[in-house]
Amino acid sequence: MGAMNSVMAHRGPDGHGVFISRDGKVGLGHRRLSIIDLSPLGRQPMHYLCQGNRRYWIVYNGEIYNYSQLRAALDKDGYSFQSNTDTEVIPAMYDRYGTGCLEHLRGMFSFAIYDEKRRTLFCARDRVGKKPFKYYLNSDVFIFASELKAILTQKEYHREPDYEAIHHYLTYQYVPSPLTGFLGIQKLEPAHYLLIDIDTMKVTKKRYWSLDYSKKLEFTEQQWCGRIMEKLEESVGIRMCSDVPLGALLSGGVDSSAVVALMSRLSSTPVRTFSVGFEEDKYSELRYARVIAKKFKTDHTEMIVTPEQAPEILPRLAHMYEEPYADSSALPSYYVSKLTRRHVTVALNGDGGDENFAGYDRYAVHKFAGIAARLLPSPVIAAIGPIGTAIAGSYKTTFFNRLDRFISTLPDDTPRRYVNLVCYFTNEQKCSLYSENFAAVTAAVDSCVLMEERFRQPGALTKLDAALYADFMTYLPDDLMVKMDIATMAVSLEGRSPFLDHEFIELTAKIPSNLKLKGLNSKKYILKKALLPLLPKEVMYRPKMGFAIPLDVWFKTSLKGYAASILLSEKAIARDLFKKDAVAALLDAHAQTKINWGYHLWALLMLELWFREFFD
């Protein structure tokens, strides 16, 4: 337990503890980041006294925002408490409601409760997947932790890469749940729990919550604006409860700007805000963050991230993220978290606004592709496909390359079209890239099927609802939530996401999809209309930039030599995953053409650095 605790010290620098059961069969360890009730009474593993007996032991990561209300109700039922923490409320709720306690918890969490009387272990993860839960299970042992690096310290697990997971990673830029990249180690999916019988090692796994898009509410636009703002302000307000300094990550986009605006309305003192940007003005949102900081008179701090920092930090990123992970915004996310932690311990962010209100460009592109597929006769689609490919091959620009991909998706059904529009490496590109051995190992596995299955949500009334649901089930928990949890916890900072409050999400699922994406250009239509009285139009209606780094520029300049030295090294080629000539051709194509292959190169680079961190 000591080794597992030590390797995760960054997640909890304020204290640590270990519990071992009397028979030695159960061990629980915890690292504490003190947020609520800073006294020693809040330390974990925590026991809960049920009728005078130490029946329940809990280890827990997260925040339950409605714990005060839950505690008040439990008080009336005769439950008593020794601390003022949200932690102690969870085992009391479990004693009161069993596994049904999860229906009452409003917040982000992963936890395990050991019941000494029944000799069971109850493990659960929050609805959206904001807090991680990874585990290794065989007939003899169950090992779990917030980070799999802790599992790697145990002799019962022998590390081995999962090549199927790597195959999926190259499609999505992340490893989809329940896989992790390590054979045998799994992620507990969001909105799931495990119930384990310690003596028999029987495991019950169950989903306890699902997002339902089938029950639309017919309000006027004005009524929807009022509903959205009322619920969002409540969601922000309950996330401002903290016994330690609190601030906000401000990107300058609509979502984080809305959070800062509402925090300013609810706070009696200036809100602390933090931003990062780049020297390349095309990618930097700092000017918009400054507009918001000035308007709401925040105490603002910012920094610039340069490409010279990348070679030093990238191996650390690969270690921090512990699974193959290629979302390049992990780099600025880490830097803004590090900057923020110098001043505060808790930071609110704007994550989830795009998934709630259809803010990504891909939703509009997918909608347009659906219209084109319906209007164009099949012979026309078949005829323009080779033309698009020929043009892309002649002009070699990002625009024509994307146009070729767009045309190639028109014959697909809706779920397959969406996956092919959003994926990194297509199946065709993989065929050109993979070595003979890696191609043979993964030949029977089509990564696109994973998201296609999520796309077919029974309650989705429109294709946009289906796409939003698919992203809520895949991209959001396995990419965005991973990015924010790892980046913040690596520096002992707690991140909170008001747009991902489950009650807020349930509300937005009831909004008709034509109010989220109006036409082909008005993304987040109803959210922006709701925010019009609050935010300046220059922030609301500017082009979306995201939080990605300038990979197209960096791989042509400062990262060019570094990437080649890693990807074409003897060590990398000896892994026999990719053809050396294909990797070299990709590097050359990025350097010599106007096609941006930066995201593909980043995925290959981070994969090789992951191998070096965990298997060399």
Give tens-digit pLDDT for 305-346: 887 777 889 999 999 999 999 999 999 999 999 999 999 999
Residue 546 is predicted with a pLDDT of 62
Q: List, for residues 464-474, the tens digit of each pLDDT value.
A: 999 999 999 99
Closest CA to 4 of 136, 198, 180, 181: 136
Contact between 82 and 49 (Cβ < 8 Å): yes
Closest CA to 490 of 602, 340, 604, 607: 340
Q: Which amino acid is at 230?
A: E
Question: What CATH architecture is 2-207?
Answer: 4-Layer Sandwich (3.60)
Range scoring the smallest mean pLDDT among 78-82, 193-197, 515-519: 78-82
3-state secondary structure of 15: strand
**For residues 366-381, average pLDDT:** 88
Q: List, for residues 411-458, the tens digit of each pLDDT value.
A: 988 889 999 888 999 999 999 999 999 999 999 999 999 888 888 766
| Cis upstream peptide for 190 (omega within 30°) | no
Going along 21-118, which residue ranges are E strands?
A: 27-32, 46-50, 53-64, 107-115
pLDDT band at residue 1 using 50, 70 and 90 as cut-offs: confident
Q: Measured at the alpha carbon of residue 475, what is the angle toward residues 474 and 479, in degrees to the nearest 5? A: 115
Domain covering 221-265+286-298+329-358+467-540, topology? Rossmann fold (3.40.50)
The residue written with tokens 């106007």 in the block is 594
**Distance separating alpha carbons of residues 43 and 124, to the nearest angstrom:** 20
Instruction: Tell me: pLDDT of 53 over 70.
Output: no
pLDDT band at residue 545 using 50, 70 and 90 as cut-offs: low
Q: List, for residues 107-137, the tens digit of each pLDDT value.
A: 999 999 999 999 999 999 999 999 999 999 9
Instruction: Tell me: pLDDT of 549 over 90.
Output: no
Residue 318 is predicted with a pLDDT of 96
**Distance separating alpha carbons of residues 180 and 91, to the nearest angstrom:** 29
**For residues 91-114, average pLDDT:** 97
Average pLDDT score over the chain: 92
3-state secondary structure of 71: helix
Contact between 323 and 481 (Cβ < 8 Å): no
Range scoring the smallest mean pLDDT among 20-29, 391-400, 406-415: 391-400
Instruction: Tell me: pLDDT of 166 over 90.
Output: yes
**Distance separating alpha carbons of residues 83 and 68, to the nearest angstrom:** 12
Q: Which amino acid is at 37?
A: D
Residue ranges covered by each domain of the chain: 2-207, 221-265+286-298+329-358+467-540
**For residues 65-85, average pLDDT:** 92
Instruction: Pick left, alpha or beta for residue 266 (phi over 0 → left; psi -120 to 50 → alpha; otherwise beta).
Output: alpha
pTM recorded for the entire structure: 0.94
**For residues 510-524, average pLDDT:** 92
Instruction: Tell me: pLDDT of 52 over 70.
Output: no
pLDDT band at residue 547 using 50, 70 and 90 as cut-offs: low
